[in-house]
Amino acid sequence: MRDTGGWPHEGTPVNRWRTAAPRAAWLVAALLPLVLIWPSLRHGIESRMSLHMLLEFPLLFAAGWSASALCLRRPRARPWLRAQRALDWRGWTSAALASAVALVWMLPSALDAALQMPAVAAAKLAMWWFVGWCLADAWRRMDAEVLLFFVGNAAWMMATAGLLYIDTPTRLCVNYLQDDQRHAGIGLVLLACALGVLAIRRVMRRVPRQDPGASGAADWPRDPDGASIQR
């Protein structure tokens, strides 16, 4: 019998459970936005500005991220992955897209339009889901400088919008009260701080291991013949 050094063999039930559990978690996260189909629940979330921005938007983003993590790891998805990376060199396109989407949905008029026009609401769902899909693959391929600039810009936008929501003495959204506007502003400022901390932590973990001659090739999935898929 082969000695496995105390670790469970890859064919054992324990190892299969360790492989299936993350996939189940990704699947649940990918399907979770389907609860928004329930009209009363969706209305309950979107009736509060804080829940609309700080719960629904991240939920849609996480769903796109999870769907990408599930789909792009499959061998059949390699042609799609190559095409996606050809249009998203080092994650720059995804970073620009995410910044633009975040900028649009920080505007009070966009929130009001999403509540009043079904077409805008559908665009909101698709935009946040697609940003999550793109960033799931682009996040680990970004250079440290691009990552810090992207997250810093997003955090700056969120903090600026949050402070504006807190300090403005009048309602900025037609459909939300001023107290809820203030709560959303506080949440945006806290989220901006959390994003900054996560970005710095991510960069600090990557920099000591970075090999200047490797050009990040170790982070790319490989073809069956051993060649890395890099764009």
- Taking only the tens of pLDDT, the chain with its 231 residues reads 444 444 344 455 544 445 555 666 656 666 677 667 777 888 888 889 999 999 999 999 988 888 888 877 777 767 777 888 888 888 888 889 999 999 999 999 999 999 999 999 999 999 999 999 888 888 888 888 888 888 888 888 899 999 999 998 888 888 898 889 999 999 999 999 998 888 788 777 766 554 544 444 444 455 444 444 544
Nearest to 128 by CA among 21, 54, 220: 54
Q: Are the CB atoms for 166 and 186 separated by under 8 Å?
A: yes
Contacts with 6 (C-beta within 8 Å, 6 or more apart), sequence order = none
CA distances (Å), origin 132, targets 64, 67, 103, 115, 125: 4, 9, 15, 22, 11
- Residue 228 pairs in a beta bridge with 222
Q: What is the pLDDT of residue 215?
A: 46
Helices and strands per DSSP (H, E), number in the chain: 10, 0
Map residue 7 onto helix, strand or coil.
Answer: coil
Task: Look up the pTM and report it.
Answer: 0.72
